[in-house]
Amino acid sequence: MELLKKTATEQRKLLLNKEISAVELTEETYKQIEKLDEKIGAYNSLTKEQALETAKKVDEKIAKGEELPLMAGIPLALKDNMNMIGSKTTASSKILENFVSPYDATVTKKLKENLIPIIGKANLDEFAMGSSNENSAFKIVRNPHNLNKVPGGSSGGSAASVAAYEATVSLGSDTGGSIRLPASFCGINGFKPTYGRVSRYGLIAFASSLDQIGPFGRSVEDIANLYMTIAGWDEKDSTSLKIEVDDVTKTLKDDIKGLKIGVIKELLAEGVNEDVRKSIEVAIETYKKLGATIKEVSLPLLKYSIGIYYIVATAEASSNLARFDGVKYGYRTKDAQNLLEMYTKTRAEGFGDEVKRRIMLGTYALSSGYYDAYYKKAQQLRRLVKNDFDTVFADVDILISPTCPTTAFDIGSRNEDPLAMYLTDIATISANLIGAPALSTPCGYDSEKMPIGLQIIGKNLDEATILRAAYNLEQAIK
């Protein structure tokens, strides 16, 4: 167990010193899953044979004294909306329940090339739509810190697996906060890189102009290393950036003297839980002690970000999900009399309520009579939000806020009210609207011992600075 609690960096040392083998580490991880996952629900399926084969290759390399990629041998959970040849890739939807990937996502290919054992496919909200992981068609995920609380969503399985020591690191996807929110609720680090930094090829699309894959880990160094493993241009994703990736590991441990930090006023206003506020204030004081300068900044249009997001994201989702029609992939209804009935019954039976709600909203926003009033307006406002951020970023290097105004809430408590659920993402969504890199790092606990996360947002492509800022805080408060 002590072994599983270590960070990837620490586990790597043990591997290189031959104190443990990669096969042992992988097997220990499966033992923990066997013991715990019935309660947690982090995994949809396990890919044990493949993981052990990879671990064996790592051990052979170590035995031969060959150089080892940065994350080789480190057990990883892959969100179940990323393709991996021969494994079920379900997006936690009934419509894909028996879908087996015929190809690898680019991130999966990179994980394999880097000899990272993929332990299994992590549970999520159906098609990554949700903030609590209660929208999975198969089972909910429970928060390892308190089994009555949600782990956050939509990458709830990816976050819970790391927090419950059922994986050392994991990958999630973030469309409006789905990496940062569960990282915050589960007390770990989660990082959404700049839009286009990591290839989306092979990620089941939710909202293509917002989706981004990123790492979870117990330490900032772990997420920096995993980020370096997956980042980079990909000819298979036309929105991936053909710009060299800065080696963030080189500057990670530099100090932050003189760093200019903006505190987002609107995100510390009313409605923020008192324990959350206190922890953020402690983080601010810590940053001052570390030599950063702090300035309060205002983003007046931030209040529109949820409204903009739920038009843009649902519009894109309604279009992306049109491909699930019973013809090409996955589930097909048993008793249709004609083609149209086959489409409608397949979709009615295959999609869950939240997915249907989004398809209806998105179709409405894109329909010819309403396009200008909703979709076009939302895109225009999205630009204005970006302008707001640009103005603020002229004066500061990074922005900080709580990742969420509250800590993890009780399972079932926000299910009846979709709007209350949507508001959970007030702090995270704008980074997706503007494409900026953003992370959540642990910064304390509330009175119920539930973790609190600090969000750091950076300028586009400046992943290095937010990781360095997170690393410095982590070292100062641990």
Instruction: Please give the structure tokens belonging to residue 401.
Output: 């806020």
Provide the pairing of β-strand 293-297 with 212-217: unpaired
The residue within the footprint of ligand GLN, chosen from 59, 174, 221, 462 (CB under 6 A), is 174
The number of residues that bind ligand GLN (CB under 6 A) is 13
Q: Please, which of residues 419-448 interact with ligand GLN by CB under 6 A?
A: 425
Cβ(54)–Cβ(118) under 8 Å?
A: yes
- CA–CA distance, 235 with 59 (Å, rounded to integer): 32
From the list 131, 154, 279, 305, the catalytic residue is 154
- Shortest distance, CB of residue 461 to ligand GLN, whole angstroms? 21
Site string for ligand GLN, 178-207 (x = CB under 6 A): x---------------------------x-
From the list 6, 21, 61, 79, the catalytic residue is 79
Q: Is 122 in the site for ligand GLN (CB under 6 A)?
A: no
Question: Please, which residue, 314 or 346, has the CB nearer to ligand GLN?
Answer: 314
Question: Please, which residue, 108 or 132, has the CB nearer to ligand GLN?
Answer: 132
- CA–CA distance, 120 with 166 (Å, rounded to integer): 10
Q: Is 305 in the site for ligand GLN (CB under 6 A)?
A: no
Query: Could you say which DSSP state residue 194 is in?
Result: P
Which residue is nearest to ligand GLN, using beta carbons? 178
- The SS3 call for residue 265 is helix
- Shortest distance, CB of residue 174 to ligand GLN, whole angstroms? 5
Cβ(209)–Cβ(475) under 8 Å?
A: no
From the list 93, 155, 170, 178, the catalytic residue is 178
The residue within the footprint of ligand GLN, chosen from 41, 177, 451, 458 (CB under 6 A), is 177
Question: Please, which residue, 227 or 310, has the CB nearer to ligand GLN?
Answer: 310
Q: Over the Cα atoms of the chain, what is R_g?
A: 21
Question: Please, which residue, 299 or 317, has the CB nearer to ligand GLN?
Answer: 317
The residue within the footprint of ligand GLN, chosen from 248, 313, 452, 469 (CB under 6 A), is 313
Cβ(159)–Cβ(216) under 8 Å?
A: yes
| Catalytic residue status for 39 | no
3-state helix, strand, coil in the chain (%, to 5): 45, 15, 40
CA atoms within 13 A on the CB side of 389: 24
- Using alpha carbons, list the distances in angstroms from residue 28 to 9, 47, 74, 410: 17, 15, 12, 31
Site string for ligand GLN, 125-144 (x = CB under 6 A): ---xxxx-------------
Span near ligand GLN by CB under 6 A; candidates 108-116, 124-132, 332-340, 470-478: 124-132
Cβ(362)–Cβ(370) under 8 Å?
A: no
| Catalytic residue status for 109 | no
Question: Please, which residue, 41 or 156, has the CB nearer to ligand GLN?
Answer: 156
Q: Please, which of residues 377-416 interact with ligand GLN by CB under 6 A?
A: none
What order of strands is seen across the sheet that includes strand 43-46? 43-46, 118-122, 76-79, 169-174, 212-217, 189-192, 438-445, 451-458, 398-402, 260-264, 293-297
| Catalytic residue status for 154 | yes
- Shortest distance, CB of residue 338 to ligand GLN, whole angstroms? 34
Site string for ligand GLN, 205-224 (x = CB under 6 A): -x------------------
Rounded to the nearest angstrom, the gap between the alpha carbon of residue 119 and the centroid of all alpha carbons in its chain is 17
Q: Is 176 in the site for ligand GLN (CB under 6 A)?
A: yes
Question: Please, which residue, 33 or 230, has the CB nearer to ligand GLN?
Answer: 230
- Shortest distance, CB of residue 237 to ligand GLN, whole angstroms? 18
The residue within the footprint of ligand GLN, chosen from 106, 161, 168, 175 (CB under 6 A), is 175
- Shortest distance, CB of residue 270 to ligand GLN, whole angstroms? 22
Instruction: Show the DSSP H helices in 18-138 as ranges.
Output: 22-40, 48-63, 106-113
Instruction: Please give the structure tokens belonging to residue 160.
Output: 């819970």
CA atoms within 13 A on the CB side of 217: 26
Cβ(466)–Cβ(437) under 8 Å?
A: yes
Q: Please, which of residues 144-163 interact with ligand GLN by CB under 6 A?
A: 154
For the chain, give me the number of helices (H) and strands (E)?
17, 11
- CA–CA distance, 317 with 305 (Å, rounded to integer): 17
- Shortest distance, CB of residue 217 to ligand GLN, whole angstroms? 18
- Shortest distance, CB of residue 353 to ligand GLN, whole angstroms? 13
Binding site for ligand GLN (CB under 6 A): 128-131, 154, 174-178, 206, 313, 425
Catalytic residues: 79, 154, 178
